[in-house]
Amino acid sequence: MSAKNLIISSVVGSLVYFLLGWVFYGMLFTNIYPPSDDQNMVFVYLGCLTFCVLVSYVFLQWAGISDMASGAKAGGIIGLLYGAGMNFFMYSNMAANYQNIVTDIIINAIMGAIAGAVIALVISKIK
C-alpha cells in the first residue's frame, strides 16, 4: 500500500461523501439532523475524511479492492455497520426524541456504497 493511494482515494472519497451528506441531510431528510447555528462544517468534513480513510485503508491494506462493484458492496457494508453503531449510541441517549434510526442507517449504507465505489475507482486509476 502506498501513502499516495491512501491519501488521494481518501480525499476524493471524502469529498463525495461530504456532498452526499449535503444532499441527504441538507436537502432530502432535513428532519434527521436539523441545521443549527453551532454546526461546524470543518468538523463535518473531518468526519467524512475519517470514514473514507478507514474505507481506503481497508480496501488497500486488507481487501485488495480496486473495482467499483466490489467497492460499492464493501463500502455499503461498512457504511451500514458504521451507521448502525453510531445510531445505536445516539438512540441510547435520545430514545424519546430520535425517530429516524432506520432511515439514518439506510442512508449511511447508501452513502458508504457510493463512496466505496468512488474510492475503489480512484484506487484502480492510480495503480
- Segment 12-28, tens digit of pLDDT: 999 999 999 999 999 99
Closest CA to 114 of 50, 83, 69: 69
Asked if 47 and 17 touch (Cβ cutoff 8 Å), the reply is no
**How many CA within 13 A on the CB side of residue 7?**
3
Averaged pLDDT score across all residues of the chain: 93
Three-state secondary structure call for residue 29? coil
Q: Which three cell numbers stand for residue 10?
A: 481518501
Q: Tell me the whole-structure pTM to 2 decimals.
A: 0.93
Instruction: HSE, CB side, 13 Å, CA atoms: give it for residue 29.
Output: 16
| Domain positions in the chain | 3-126
- Alpha carbon distance 78, 54 (integer Å): 9
First to last CA, the chain: 10
Tens-place pLDDT, residues 73-82:
999 999 999 9
DSSP codes, 59-74: IIIII---SHHHHHHH
pLDDT of residue 96: 64
Examine the pLDDT at 11 and tell me if it is beyond 90.
yes
